[in-house]
Each structure stands twice: as structure tokens, then as C-alpha cells.
Amino acid sequence: MTLLSVENLSLSIGSLPILRDVTFSIEPGEIVAITGESGSGKSMTAFSVMQLLPESATTQGAIHLNGRNLLTLPEADLCAMRGNDVGMVFQEPMTALNPVKTIGDQVAETILIHSTATQAEAQSQAATMLARVGLPQDRFPLSRYPHELSGGQRQRVVIAMAIARRPRLLIADEPTTALDVTTQARILDLLKDLVNEFDMGLLMITHDLAVVADMAHRIIVMRHGEIVEQGDTQTLLATMSHSYTKALFEASSHQVDLPEPSEGHIPILSVENATRDYPLPRTGLFAPRQHARAVNAVSFDIHHGERLGLVGESGCGKSTLTRAILGLEPLQSGTITAFGVEVSPSMPAAQRVKTQVVFQDPYGSFNPRHRVARILSEPFYLAPDAPKGEALTETIATVLTDVGLAPSDATKYIHEFSGGQRQRIAIARALITKPELIIFDEAVSALDVSIRAQILDLIADLSRRHNLAYLFISHDLSVVRTVTDRVLVMQSGEIVEQGDTDAVFTNPQHPYTRSLIAAAPVLPDLKELSDAPA
């Protein structure tokens, strides 16, 4: 019998239509992935199945789980269903757990509310479940609090909570998006094993097509609240009958046309034995202060016009290194020299003009009360000979045009722009002082694939026109591979491998680089797929 069947589901929140005529089904033991860009309605589809929708939501159609239509069930029955028949895993493991309750209590709670188990029985079942998801009691006792666990470990707790009652259906909403690649690979393996072991259906929501292709038996592609295409993974990838599916896959494996690196090796930035320590809280009142070494004796150069990549997992020291290069934090030893002058927090402001930065979050990195013109002219506070009046307006118009926006956008506020446009504004802000080096700190990580492809093209184009050098920091190996000439691999504060990007990716020498590359999900080669008999 079909486990879950969604029939002609339409959903609107208030008067805003969110989903239109969504129809799909899941069999026991089957992994179905819904993919699409932000705003496609994929998460809302998942929440519809859980019936955890905002109060102003109205639904039409039917959602049958084990033959019962969830849309007509009273709330009490839905509560009995959630967690018992359907479990759910969320995107953000850092916030999905209650910070003031132990992991044991939180897993046991699922068991307690759906069964007649005693507290002790529930705790022992919780211990079994936690061990099953890879958190054995000897190392992760039930008395642990969420803040004592890493992101990957917390996601395991969330999974244990979701599967504690061995539900027939598990819904995972971007379960690995917030995790590092190696952790992601392990969590995905765990989910696959659980599906087999419990004969569960798994509805997986993800924007990452490489993950989809790797995991799912069937794929559903959504856009603007509608399903544009669905089918068996192999067949769908081979045929891609809908142009949007094709566009989505092409954008995901987008290769930019990077200009040849300029010859002549003039280093513009040299980092020599840079070491950065953070003080840890004292362990005792009079105990000596301990230090954590975030960046350990790192050395590298960036040459004029060179595109350098920096990859590594969270906590490896990428961001600390960035702040040191920008002269925002002091080094404990070693030196960083940019354009022949030593970088330090106390350096004169005018020295900061030639190195600029673009951050990850296009929503959080602007003052919402400033107009674009003011945001863009802000870096001129650094420049002694900043343009004023007419000249300033002209400069702003030029950089806006440079990044593919209109000069008239200068008078708008930041909330009038989409995420991709905001990231263009961030790039314009970095470009306005005519820097020779830009640091892109996860600058495309928060963007949808099609927007990401456009921004990557823009970066390549700007580097061609302005002969820019950049340091491109990312956890996404496929992106680094296409936009850089040379790459550094960082682990625990140290550079463990560096070399030409192609050489490092095709023939990694260091075991850590190898594990990173192995863990990264890859898109199947579309050409191969379509040539092979379906």
C-alpha cells in the first residue's frame, strides 16, 4: 500500500498562494527528494504533510498517510500522528534542540508522549536510539545538553528524536545544508541505513542536486509552488524533459569562463608564519589562561591578478585568517604584508583601500536604513582623495553598472533587492575603491544555484576587466574548483595542501584533502547519463 499520497494539494497563506496542485506519493522504503530553489514551496510541502502550517493557511486537495486523509483529521489525531507515524528532521541542528533540556530527556519525550512507557523505559529506549544514530552512551550520556555537542552530533540527536517511535515516514528538510561535507556524508549514510533498516519512506527536501542525485530513488522538481517534473532519478536525470530541470542542473555544475591568469609574479599579499591565538576562559580562578590556536604558522602569497581559493571545514580557521588579512585582528606571531606594507589593526585607514571584502550573508551585511548610494560610498571614508558631489554620483553609477545593476538603483533601500542583487551590491561596495585584492568570504554560499551561477560569472568577468586578484573562501569544493587558479586546503588552523586548483582536485596528496573530495557529493555527468540506455 502506498505510504503517503499527496493529491492535488493547494495551499495558500492568507491570500498568498504557496502551492498549486501538488501530487506525488511515497512507498515504504523509498527515498523521494523534492528539490528546487528558495520560494519553490518545497519546505511548505513538507510542513503540509506534518500539518504544521501557519494558522492563516488554507489547504485543498488530500494528503493520505496510511489511508487516512490528514487534511480532515482533528488536531488531537494529528498530534498522535506527529512523531509516531511521521518523524521530521530539520535544517538547522544548532537551534532545533531545546537548549535547557538534556538530549536524553528530549529523545525520551517522543517516546513518552506516544506510549505508556515509564520514564525509565523511555530513557533506556532513548539510549538505544542515540546509540543507533552514532551517539553511544559511554561518550554521549543522556545527561548531555545540546550546547555540549557539535552540529553533526546535534543533528544525530534530532534524527534519534524523529525515529524514536520508528515512524513509517521520515521527512528531512535540508538535513545537511548547515553541515560540513564530511559530516554531511556521514549523516546522509545514516539516513540511508535507517530507511533500509526500518523500511521507512523518506521525503527529503534539499536544494543540493548533487545530494539528490546520490540519494533519492525518485526526484520531484518544484518551482513557484508547482511540480515541474518528477520521476525515477536515473530516468529524470537522463531525459530532463522540462527546461527548468535542465537549467537547474546546468546552473549547479556551472563552469565559469575564467580568463588566463596574468603573467609576472608580483606578490601583492604575503602571509608569513601567521599565527593567531584566542584566549580561552580560565579553568580556575588563578589558573593560567589557556589559548586556542585558530591559525597556526600559515604562509602563502597572492600574486597580482591571481585567483586563490581557500577550502576547509567550519572551525578550521578560515574566517580568523580572513580577519587577520583584513587587519581587523592582531597576529600573535608572523607577518602579513599587503602591497608592501605590514597589515595590522592599527594601520592607517588609507591602507585598507586596496583590499576589500564580500561577506556571505546578503541580508545581514547592510544597514537597512541606508540607501544604496550611501552603502556604496562608505569605503571612501578610507580614501584620502575620495570623489565628492558629481564625481561620486558618477563613480557610484559606474560600479552599479559594472555589477549588472542600474545607476538609478542608487536611491533605493536594500530591502527592495533580492538576495542575488544584494550580493551584487556587496561586490559593488568592494569594487568602488578600485581595490587590487578582494576577499570573497563564502560570498555565494547563501545563494540559489541559478543566482550563484550568475554571481560566479560576474566575479570571473570582473577579474578579467579589472585584473583583480581575489581570495575565494568557501566550503563548496565545486565552486572553488571553477573560479580559482590555485587553492589552499586548511585543516585545524594549518594549510595542509596547496597547489594548482586542477592538480589538487584531480590528484590530492594530503589525506584530509582526499577525504574532503571523497565526501563532497558530485553531480552525475549529464552527458554520460543521457547516452546510457535508461
State the residues that interact with another protein by CB under 8 A: 50, 52, 75-76, 79-84, 87-88, 90, 92, 95-101, 109-110, 113-114, 145, 147-148, 158, 161-162, 281, 284-285
Q: Are strands 267-279 and 291-303 parallel, antiparallel or unpaired?
A: antiparallel
Separation between Cα atoms, residue 430 and residue 446, nearest integer Å = 18
Give me the least distance between CB of 489 and another protein, in Å please.
Answer: 32
C-alpha cell at 439: 576577499
CB 484 within 8 A of CB 477: no
CB 175 within 8 A of CB 191: yes
C-alpha cell at 116: 505508556
Rounded to whole angstroms, what are the CA distances from 457 to 77, 376, 453, 467? 51, 21, 6, 15
Single-letter amino acid code for the residue at 231 = G
Residue 102 or 498: the one with the smaller Cβ distance to another protein is 102
Residue 162 or 357: the one with the smaller Cβ distance to another protein is 162
Residue 98 or 314: the one with the smaller Cβ distance to another protein is 98
Give me the least distance between CB of 358 and another protein, in Å please.
Answer: 28
Residue 50 or 523: the one with the smaller Cβ distance to another protein is 50
Separation between Cα atoms, residue 500 and residue 85, nearest integer Å = 51
Continuous segment of H or E residues that includes residue 355: strand 355-358
Residue 187 or 326: the one with the smaller Cβ distance to another protein is 187
3-state DSSP: the chain helix, strand, coil percent, rounded to 5?
A: 40, 25, 35
CB 425 within 8 A of CB 414: yes
Closest CA to 307 of 434, 438, 403: 438
Residue 120 or 285: the one with the smaller Cβ distance to another protein is 285
CB 203 within 8 A of CB 172: yes
Give me the least distance between CB of 114 and another protein, in Å please.
Answer: 6
Separation between Cα atoms, residue 126 and residue 142, nearest integer Å = 8
Closest CA to 404 of 384, 386, 436, 431: 431
Residue 36 or 146: the one with the smaller Cβ distance to another protein is 146
> How deeply is 406 buried, as exposed, middle or buried, from its count of CB atoms within 10 A (0-12, 13-18, 19+)?
exposed
Residue 65 or 324: the one with the smaller Cβ distance to another protein is 65
Give me the least distance between CB of 99 and another protein, in Å please.
Answer: 6
Separation between Cα atoms, residue 400 and residue 309, nearest integer Å = 26
Residue 92 or 457: the one with the smaller Cβ distance to another protein is 92
Give me the least distance between CB of 101 and another protein, in Å please.
Answer: 7
Residue 94 or 386: the one with the smaller Cβ distance to another protein is 94
Separation between Cα atoms, residue 511 and residue 396, nearest integer Å = 47
Helices H, strands E: what count in the chain? 18, 20
Give me the least distance between CB of 285 and another protein, in Å please.
Answer: 8
Residue 91 or 421: the one with the smaller Cβ distance to another protein is 91
CB 459 within 8 A of CB 470: yes
Separation between Cα atoms, residue 370 and residue 413, nearest integer Å = 6
Bridge partners of 26? 4
Which are the contacts of 417, defined by CB distance < 8 A and separation ≥ 6? 409, 425
Separation between Cα atoms, residue 392 and residue 520, nearest integer Å = 45
Longest dimension (CA), the chain: 76
Give me the least distance between CB of 37 and another protein, in Å please.
Answer: 22
Give me the least distance between CB of 212 and another protein, in Å please.
Answer: 23
Residue 141 or 404: the one with the smaller Cβ distance to another protein is 141
Give me the least distance between CB of 284 and another protein, in Å please.
Answer: 8
Give me the least distance between CB of 512 and another protein, in Å please.
Answer: 30
Residue 83 or 312: the one with the smaller Cβ distance to another protein is 83
Give me the least distance between CB of 313 and another protein, in Å please.
Answer: 23
Continuous segment of H or E residues that includes residue 271: strand 267-279
Separation between Cα atoms, residue 169 and residue 202, nearest integer Å = 6
C-alpha cell at 483: 573560479
Give me the least distance between CB of 504 and another protein, in Å please.
Answer: 37
Residue 41 or 379: the one with the smaller Cβ distance to another protein is 41
Give me the least distance between CB of 112 and another protein, in Å please.
Answer: 10
Separation between Cα atoms, residue 138 and residue 126, nearest integer Å = 14
Give me the least distance between CB of 183 and another protein, in Å please.
Answer: 19
